Amino acid sequence: MYRFINIAVGTSTFDIILPGGYIAVGGTSKTINVVRSATVQANFALQAQGGIQGVVFDDLNGNGSQDTGEPGVGGVVLSRSGGVAVTTGSNGSYRFEGITPGSYTVAVALPTGYTASGATSRTVNVGSGGAAQANFALQAQGGIQGVVFDDLNGNGSQDTGEPGVGGVTVSRTGGVAVTTGSNGSYRFEGITPGSYTVAVAVPTGYTASGTTSRTVNVG
């Protein structure tokens, strides 16, 4: 509450200086007519600015919630309505400051090597002086790797002196294929967590001394 006394009769303009962390709901200036022996009112409506905060984390078990032992992911870019962007800290946390009350959409940009295990955007409502939470669950993409080798003794294991076989095609679920290097090694990168079947195409001049396909689970 404020009060001016000994105001001259006539028209007067009153202005308010916005304090830090507040916005005006309506004008910041009012012109009123002061009459003799009367008190007139000039009210100003403000709203405290709020915040939007949360964490981007590696959802190891894929349940969409950050459980004990699931680390935050640093260096991830998040944007909100209005084109404002922030980057998560080393612990995966972020915060948008000075938010005018209203509805906002927050979106996460998937970093290289990760896939989303939940929504990549969320809509939140920020009240006057309040804070809204928007967390995002990611999962680090893994890999499938191995070696194709010449099993000289036929025991199914690569022993000393058993060379890798280069130029062999290995395929996985989804129709993706790679070719072994000169040492017989191969790797599938950027694998979303799940179950996959990997198969080898037996090259001319070779026969399989074990299974030609294997099912693996990538965490």
Residues 133-159: tens digit of each pLDDT: 999 999 888 889 899 999 999 999 899
Q: What local confidence, expressed as pLDDT, does residue 62 receive?
A: 79
- Joined tokens for residue 64: 């969409």
Residue 3: pLDDT over 80: yes
pLDDT tens-digit series, residues 76-95: 999 999 899 999 999 999 99
Residue 21: pLDDT over 90: no
Residue 7: pLDDT over 90: no
| C-beta separation of 150 from 180 below 8 A | no
pLDDT tens-digit series, residues 22-40: 877 778 888 988 888 788 8
Q: What local confidence, expressed as pLDDT, does residue 131 receive?
A: 85
Q: What is the DSSP letter of 161?
A: T
Rounded to an integer, what distance in angstroms lies between the CA atom of residue 128 and that of residue 102? 9
Q: What local confidence, expressed as pLDDT, does residue 132 receive?
A: 92
Q: What local confidence, expressed as pLDDT, does residue 5 receive?
A: 84
Residue 49: pLDDT over 90: no
Mean predicted confidence (pLDDT) in 12-21: 84
Residue with tokens 């001394």: 209
Identify any residues that bridge with 51 across adjacent strands, giving them in sequence order.
131
Residue 107: pLDDT over 80: yes
pLDDT band of residue 197 (cuts 50, 70, 90) is very high
Rounded to an integer, what distance in angstroms lies between the CA atom of residue 10 and that of residue 5? 14
Residue type, 217: N
For the beta carbon of residue 198, count every other beta carbon within 10 angstroms. Answer: 20
Q: What local confidence, expressed as pLDDT, does residue 80 receive?
A: 96
- Joined tokens for residue 173: 């679920």
Residue 68: pLDDT over 80: yes
| Sign, CA torsion 152/157/159/162 | positive
Identify any residues that bridge with 201 across adjacent strands, giving them in sequence order.
none
This model's pTM is above 0.95: no
Does 169 or 20 have the greater pLDDT score? 169
Q: What local confidence, expressed as pLDDT, does residue 40 receive?
A: 84
Q: What is the DSSP letter of 70?
A: -
* CA 158 to chain centroid: 41
Please enumerate in sequence order all residues whose Cβ is within 8 A of that of 199, keeping only pairs 6 or more positions apart, or say none.
Answer: 170, 171, 172, 212, 213, 214
Residue 10: pLDDT over 80: yes
| C-beta separation of 126 from 52 below 8 A | yes
Rounded to an integer, what distance in angstroms lies between the CA atom of residue 172 and that of residue 48? 55
pLDDT band of residue 165 (cuts 50, 70, 90) is very high
Burial label for 101, CB within 10 Å (0-12, 13-18, 19+), is middle
Rounded to an integer, what distance in angstroms lies between the CA atom of residue 139 and that of residue 75? 15
Mean predicted confidence (pLDDT) in 200-209: 95
- Joined tokens for residue 128: 């006057």
Q: What is the DSSP letter of 8?
A: P
Residue 48: pLDDT over 80: no
